[in-house]
Structure 1
Amino acid sequence: MRHLDLIRDVTSKAQGHWCEVLSSIGINVPENPRTHAPCPACGGNDRFRFDDKDGRGPHLCNVCGAGDGLELVRKVKQCSNYEAAQIVSEALGGDTCSTRTTNQKMAFDRQQDEAEAVSRRQAFLTRYTGLRENAIEHEHSYLTGKGLTGFPLPVLADGRLLVSLVDGSGAVSAAQTITPAGNKRLLAGSAKKGAFYPVQKPPEQIQAVIIAEGLATALSVHLMRPDAFTVAAIDAGNLKPVAEVMRRKYPEAQIIIAADNDIKPDEPNTGKEKAEQAAKSVAGWVALPPTEHKADWDDYRQLNGLKYATGAFNASLYQCNSEPPAAIPNPMTVKRDPLKPYADIRHGGLYWVEPKTDRDTGEQIERESWLCDPLTIAGIGEDDNERYLILKWTPEGSQTERTEALPMRDIGEREGWAKLRAGGLSITARSGLRAILADYLQRSGKRDMWSIAGATGWQCGAYIMPDGSVIGEPDKPVLFNGRSAAAKGYTVKGTAESWRDSVGLLASGNPSMMLGIACAFAAPLIGLANADGFGVHLFGGSSAGKTTTGNAATSIYGEPEGLKLTWYSTALGLVNEAAAHNDGFMPLDEIGQGSNRKAVADAAYALFNGVGKIQGAKEGGNRDIKRWRAMAFSTGEIDLESYIRADGGKVNAGQLVRLLNVPITKATVFHGYADGKAHADAMRDACQNHYGAVGREWIKYLASQKEAAAEATRTAERRWLSLLPSEASEQVRRVSSRFAVLEAALLLSHHLTGWTVQESRDALQHSFNAWVNEFGMQNREAKAWIEQTESFLQRYGYSRYMPHPSSDPRDLPIKDLAGYRVKNRMSEEIVFHTWPTVFKDEIAIGANHIAFAQVLADAGMLDKPKKGITKKTLVVDGKQPHFIVLRYQPEIDGESEE
């Protein structure tokens, strides 16, 4: 009877509210009773309609039948009428309208709290940044007075010590100031809970973490246990939150709370109690100073000396009755009703488990329905447009865990299931169970916030490789949601040291090889230095060492053949690869091997513009614009300019200062090998056996030296610009700034290459001079315009210009008359009086004719008046028309003008 009473009560209370009730438990029904929609129970499309005119929630499905609202819940949740009534009862909870009003108020309050938190956070960061920028690092009297020397920290102008506290992601979230007298104060707006001050850089392998209250105590404990990672929690109340952060970051480490002994007669020992609470929460240990008076471990060290204090610290360790760390609640599995169905991982898969009670024996039995392979919900993510669910699983037959960002809009939809299956996750084919799985994914697992990145490179404080691996400590978990065609090539063989002693050694002393390696090292530096992306095209004849040089450069990041990209692509394809190599290195194979000349010409601009095309989206509006900074290294037998012009294409100066044409210099330093071939063979073997490790070490180094790297680049740029002659054009200055980036990369990476400062600079200067010999020191566009004018006059000077004055009838007629030519009998100089339209439409074609004329005037080839560019110079048929006066003295007898 109790079951029937609940069913009657729920049916009565839900009458007239079935739309809201069903929506609250995740069952979507159409609001219009005439509208057909997919059935939420069986999944059939356009077979279901919902009619709530009598308030009982009647519905009809052409496949699974009809019924009221309670029957619909029973079918969707696959449970009994009583269990369906329990679900509806929990959803009702009270008056629907008042519940909705309360929820709206709670949501508004949450929004207000979040806005205030953001405002406080911004105010704190502004205040903290201002103090930190003006602080000078040196030892402080507060610490030196305690005998703690060798710890330089930021000190403000008024003498206060500034202690920066970071949260679990490594971001500064709080700060404390300490006066020389020891007075401590938190900076306004600090988010102290869970924040800590690390007294040293975390070791690579963390086996023990020690948490102390104050800064001096943490430094003293660090001297006692330098093998452990030691942090300061600032006060006793923050010990437990910091301990929980450390347990999440280092789940296998021993956590020790270096307690303050606050022993006083007839008073609670706060330091000991708070330390034990923190230790219990993470199954940790406590180290309490063995004194009969109030003291912390810094007091104990000062009183007894470091050696004695170290022994006492280790001897004082004890473990409380530990409690396991609290797990993240899972609404599908935690605190569940023993008769409610739930999801559980068992038998090598995720199952939907439905407990039942046998009517005859009273024994509880379970019905298992397979949902999918074992699956972990790692968190939720977001980019600029939408939210994602972060899922992890290991595909069958693989040893590598896969992490995917599934858009929230695709959960439970055909697109979402298709993406998961494509990633190797096996999923049930039954639509009803897939609906249960979709609910489980949306309501269960961790809800930590991830950042979803559409590009590689520097993201959230860390570096994302094109294969998706993350180097450094991101501000929060980050996932690369893109793909590179060369992702599988980012593998490691050998070590950074073995690369230095093989590839690095064989390249030293050979400028072109060192240039290629400099390009590879510069790739992750351009983002830190806020420099533009660019590329180098190394050209020369066959067997000059181009392939060997390219392999040496590519070996920094992975297996050379696996990472090599091709010019044989569309411009859009290369742009997509550039986005997948943001702040990264793009090795491109030889120009000319099947590549499309127009695509190469377009890519020479697009690759280094850093901004993709604006494209419309099928759902309306525009897609996100792709942005990137890439460092390309290309090879070929001919230079870029000659290659593009071979089919009549046109090369602009902008292309030539984005992709730099540098003629290759053959290797001459063989490092003990008999000749160039033996040296090349040795380099090939070295590249096949030592790759990938040095690039990861380089990025780790940059991640810890971001400001120093940017400053090194600025210093190198000042040096390069100071070396240029005054007549150097702006284009040459731009290229010198790019060589400065290459120099900074080599100087910063000298510990990885083994090269000295001077040999690195000499190699780059050699390549820069080779580039200047190709490009010239002057403005390339001006040079091209002068050559364009000379070419026109050489071709048409005697065929389309009529001599003036002329009385010889053989001079007529002239087709497409361009103007008149006048020869000075004394100087032999020929002056071409050109019709303005011919000058604008033919000579200056493709350029602004006013700017074109000014360049010619500066070169002495155009007689320009003070105003405008035309003159009345000749009388023709009794009239005096306007001409543009061009002066040109061609070379005579093959001799060039000096």
Structure 2
Amino acid sequence: MAKPEKKVINLRATAPAISPDRPCWGVYEHWVVNEKGRKLKPGVYWHGYQRTAGDQDTDGDDGSDRPVVDEWISSPVTVMARTISSDDGSEGRLLRMKVEAGHKDWIIPMEVFGGSGEDARRQLFGMGVIIALKKRTTFMEYLLDQTPAEVFATTSRPGWHESGAFVLPGRTIGNGNVRYQASGREQSLFKAKGSLLDWQQEIAAKCAGNPVLVLAIGCALAGPLLSLVGVLGGGVHLVGDSSSGKSLAQLVGSSVWSDPGVFAASWDMSKGGLEIEASSRNDTILPLDEIKRADPKRVQEMAYSLANGQGKGTMTRDREARGKLSWRLLTLSSGERSLSEHAAISGNAAHAGSELRMVDVNAGTRTHRAFDELHGLAGADFHRSLTVAVTRNHGLLGPAFIECLVAKQDPSGLLEDFARVRETFVEDNAQAGRVADRFAVIALACEMAIAYGLLPWEEGSALADCQLLYGEWLNRVGSGNAEDRQILSSILDFIDRHGSSRFSDVSDDQAETRVPNRAGYWESLGGKRLYLFNKSALIEAARGYGLPRVVKALDNAGALAKRDTDKKRYTKKYRLPGGGSSGLYVIDTEPLDREGVNQ
């Protein structure tokens, strides 16, 4: 059998010829042939002349008769631009590398040149760059010697940049001269896979008719709108029994920006870790699974921090202030307990402010637990189909939404649209107004995506779903001030727990000897019992609120049944069993029930 003929490639005929102006650097992404006919593989080169012991000053000598030297330094790495951080003004260089996997960009901080550069070279090796081991110092000299004319801005935080661009790792929407600069070797959170059409057909279509799923997508899309319409950050907390579908809603919301398996986070972290997670998802969404994993002693503090968008200041080893982390986003939380119920495990009083910042949403007792419409599927099949679909298609809707938003560039029109949507969410106080703002911006984001052709839902359907969930919340908490409701609820709870042990009939002369740790008395009036609190017990019952604030809440609710004629006093003077008298706060529990604090 004849041997197969070997094909011989004439590299000198196919590779471009170069004539470097020696001595100089050279970068080639393909094979080249130098002026002496020598083949050079792709890479960074130092083009010079061979030196001998008798070499002397050669100024004025073109070197055409001297032997040339082409030192291979590394695989192709081109210094594309000078970079200046918008965060702290630090400089860097934008590198473009050609490796086996293709082209990659990376920004190297200039500060690495103050040391050996070992950490920077290690990262480059990790990205596929090969550097000759004996040329490591020469490689750093090459990078430092480049003076690119182009200047790019950089930021280590995703989201809106001061230039008007929306920055994501590996992609900038709206301005090509801004780049994301990773602060370290952290995992890339934003990933894309599949197609937007498949995401629309396999995921979004099944979310129609399901307010909880619509809310999850809306939370993800609303993140970029918060700063544009002037709405503060905050979150929604999906409450329902285990395996009700809460986690699936979080997977769907996460798929708007990335792979849910990478993008979703957990409550099981420190406050500092939570700040890092929030900052790394700025202007998008922070999914937090299972609130039962959070520290009950600090969960309310963490909820405040997430909504306020400001991290805690820290110091460096040199006692210099380190920049605070900041963010603006919506949090999509879940759990079998509400935030206040979880906080109560540690014995801490629930703060009304934290509940407003992380609003409870019913995701457990709907038609099909967390869902209202299964689109003809059994519950398990519906759950499974969406779970599989988000792993195949993700990270596409969010960037597409930003592209449409940037292309439109209508700030005043956006504010007018938000105002129209906001008018449909009725509230009776400023605190409910903050929650209404949140539901309104979520509804607006969904309706905008519908108008852009990105969500296959009927116009107005997302708005109706958000109004439904907001109405459920409003009916559950009642009207009025949230702190008032919290105070009244705590007092009722105190009476339920101690009404028979720490109170006694004010007309019973023997009461003083039978009641330890007395909270007050009670008296019967018109077939009902009034509770007569002493000052210390009333403060104890309200758990964390000062006396003037407690009295104000009781007065607003009409729960102070008796008081002396002096309008500046809120107590009624009683003659006590055993002698003496005291001013007591006379509380009627019926107005407290009317406030809905037991719901």
Q: Normalization by structure 2: what TM-score?
A: 0.80
1:640 matched to 2:339: yes
What CA distance in whole angstroms lies between the structure 1 residues aligned with 2:72 and 2:598?
87
1:376/1:846 CA distance change after superposition, 3 Å: same
Offset of residue 740 of structure 1 = 0.9
Contact kept? 1:721, 1:733, Cα under 8 Å = no
- Give deviations 1:611-660, integer Å, cap 9, x for gaps: 00011122332011111112222333333333332443443222222222
Match of 1:402 in 2: 105
**Within-5 A mapping of 1:832-843:** 832-834=532-534, 836-840=535-539, 842-843=540-541
Question: Which amino acid letter does the alignment assign opposite residue 350 of structure 2?
Answer: V
Offset of residue 759 of structure 1 = 1.7
Match of 1:853 in 2: 551
1:506 matched to 2:191: no
Offset of residue 580 of structure 1 = 0.7
1:812/1:599 CA distance change after superposition, 3 Å: closer
1:818/1:622 CA distance change after superposition, 3 Å: same
SS at match of 2:361: strand
Match of 1:550 in 2: 250
Q: Which moved more, 1:543-552 or 1:761-770?
A: 543-552
Contact kept? 1:381, 1:405, Cα under 8 Å = no
Match of 2:306 in 1: 607
Of 657, 660, 672, the residue aligned with 2:356 is 657
SS at match of 2:315: coil
What CA distance in whole angstroms lies between the structure 1 residues aligned with 2:218 and 2:84?
36
Offset of residue 373 of structure 1 = 3.7
What CA distance in whole angstroms lies between the structure 1 residues aligned with 2:479 and 2:413?
28
SS at match of 1:391: strand
**Within-5 A mapping of 1:16-95:** none
1:689/1:878 CA distance change after superposition, 3 Å: closer
Match of 2:37 in 1: none
Match of 1:344 in 2: 26
What CA distance in whole angstroms lies between the structure 1 residues aligned with 2:49 and 2:330?
60
What CA distance in whole angstroms lies between the structure 2 residues aligned with 1:647 and 1:611?
25
Structure 1: segments with no counterpart, 5+ residues = 1-332
Offset of residue 454 of structure 1 = 2.5
SS at match of 1:382: strand
Of 554, 563, 570, the residue aligned with 2:270 is 570
Work out the number of aligned pairs and report it: 544
**Within-5 A mapping of 1:247-266:** none
1:669 matched to 2:408: no
SS at match of 1:568: coil
Contact kept? 1:564, 1:587, Cα under 8 Å = yes
1:697 matched to 2:391: no
What CA distance in whole angstroms lies between the structure 2 residues aligned with 1:706 and 1:484?
34
Contact kept? 1:489, 1:560, Cα under 8 Å = no
Question: Which amino acid letter does the alignment assign opposite residue 641 of structure 1?
Answer: S
Question: Which amino acid letter does the alignment assign opposite residue 394 of structure 2?
Answer: Y
1:528/1:397 CA distance change after superposition, 3 Å: same
What CA distance in whole angstroms lies between the structure 2 residues aligned with 1:891 and 1:875?
26
- Give deviations 1:837-873, integer Å, cap 9, x for gaps: 4434x23431122111111122223356522545544
Offset of residue 429 of structure 1 = 5.5
Question: Which amino acid letter does the alignment assign opposite residue 453 of structure 1?
Answer: T
What CA distance in whole angstroms lies between the structure 2 residues aligned with 1:831 and 1:775?
25
Contact kept? 2:284, 2:330, Cα under 8 Å = yes
Of 429, 439, 444, the residue aligned with 1:744 is 444
Question: Which amino acid letter does the alignment assign opposite residue 546 of structure 2?
Answer: N
Q: Normalization by structure 1: what TM-score?
A: 0.55
Offset of residue 661 of structure 1 = 1.1
What CA distance in whole angstroms lies between the structure 1 residues aligned with 2:261 and 2:362?
23
1:866 matched to 2:567: yes
- Give deviations 1:244-303, integer Å, cap 9, x for gaps: xxxxxxxxxxxxxxxxxxxxxxxxxxxxxxxxxxxxxxxxxxxxxxxxxxxxxxxxxxxx
SS at match of 1:401: strand
Offset of residue 370 of structure 1 = 4.8
Match of 2:143 in 1: 441
What CA distance in whole angstroms lies between the structure 1 residues aligned with 2:480 and 2:454?
37
- Give deviations 1:17-51, integer Å, cap 9, x for gaps: xxxxxxxxxxxxxxxxxxxxxxxxxxxxxxxxxxx
Offset of residue 786 of structure 1 = 0.8
Offset of residue 581 of structure 1 = 0.6
**Within-5 A mapping of 1:676-715:** 676-708=379-411, 711-712=413-414, 714-715=416-417
What CA distance in whole angstroms lies between the structure 2 residues aligned with 1:704 and 1:440?
40
- Give deviations 1:695-714, integer Å, cap 9, x for gaps: 22111001112425x64455
Match of 2:88 in 1: 385
What CA distance in whole angstroms lies between the structure 2 residues aligned with 1:853 and 1:392?
65
1:853/1:803 CA distance change after superposition, 3 Å: same
SS at match of 2:200: helix
Match of 1:375 in 2: 77
Match of 1:770 in 2: 472
Question: Which amino acid letter does the alignment assign opposite residue 25 of structure 2?
Answer: A
What CA distance in whole angstroms lies between the structure 2 residues aligned with 1:441 and 1:538?
51
**Within-5 A mapping of 1:313-324:** none
- Give deviations 1:220-255, integer Å, cap 9, x for gaps: xxxxxxxxxxxxxxxxxxxxxxxxxxxxxxxxxxxx
**Within-5 A mapping of 1:181-192:** none
Of 513, 531, 535, the residue aligned with 1:812 is 513
- Give deviations 1:84-136, integer Å, cap 9, x for gaps: xxxxxxxxxxxxxxxxxxxxxxxxxxxxxxxxxxxxxxxxxxxxxxxxxxxxx
Contact kept? 1:412, 1:434, Cα under 8 Å = no
What CA distance in whole angstroms lies between the structure 1 residues aligned with 2:316 and 2:290?
35
Calculate percent identity across the aligned residue pairs.
24
Contact kept? 1:491, 1:558, Cα under 8 Å = yes
SS at match of 1:423: helix
Match of 1:479 in 2: 180
Offset of residue 436 of structure 1 = 5.1
- Give deviations 1:510-530, integer Å, cap 9, x for gaps: 222212121122122223223
Root mean square deviation, CA, Å: 3.5
Question: Which amino acid letter does the alignment assign opposite residue 267 of structure 2?
Answer: W
What CA distance in whole angstroms lies between the structure 1 residues aligned with 2:442 and 2:218?
5
Match of 1:493 in 2: 194
What CA distance in whole angstroms lies between the structure 1 residues aligned with 2:598 and 2:393?
54
Contact kept? 2:439, 2:470, Cα under 8 Å = yes
What CA distance in whole angstroms lies between the structure 1 residues aligned with 2:488 and 2:588?
12
- Give deviations 1:723-746, integer Å, cap 9, x for gaps: 526xx3322111111111011111
Match of 2:167 in 1: 464
Structure 2: segments with no counterpart, 5+ residues = 1-17, 28-39, 56-62
Offset of residue 760 of structure 1 = 1.8
SS at match of 1:524: helix
1:711/1:599 CA distance change after superposition, 3 Å: farther
1:379/1:792 CA distance change after superposition, 3 Å: same
Offset of residue 889 of structure 1 = 5.9
- Give deviations 1:334-357, integer Å, cap 9, x for gaps: 996x5xx43333644333344246
Contact kept? 2:431, 2:481, Cα under 8 Å = yes
What CA distance in whole angstroms lies between the structure 1 residues aligned with 2:460 and 2:185?
37
- Give deviations 1:299-336, integer Å, cap 9, x for gaps: xxxxxxxxxxxxxxxxxxxxxxxxxxxxxxxxxx9996
What CA distance in whole angstroms lies between the structure 1 residues aligned with 2:248 and 2:225?
24
Contact kept? 2:171, 2:179, Cα under 8 Å = no
Offset of residue 369 of structure 1 = 4.6
1:502/1:434 CA distance change after superposition, 3 Å: closer
What CA distance in whole angstroms lies between the structure 2 residues aligned with 1:679 and 1:697?
26
What CA distance in whole angstroms lies between the structure 1 residues aligned with 2:64 and 2:498?
108
SS at match of 1:521: helix
1:670/1:887 CA distance change after superposition, 3 Å: closer
SS at match of 2:410: helix
**Within-5 A mapping of 1:149-160:** none
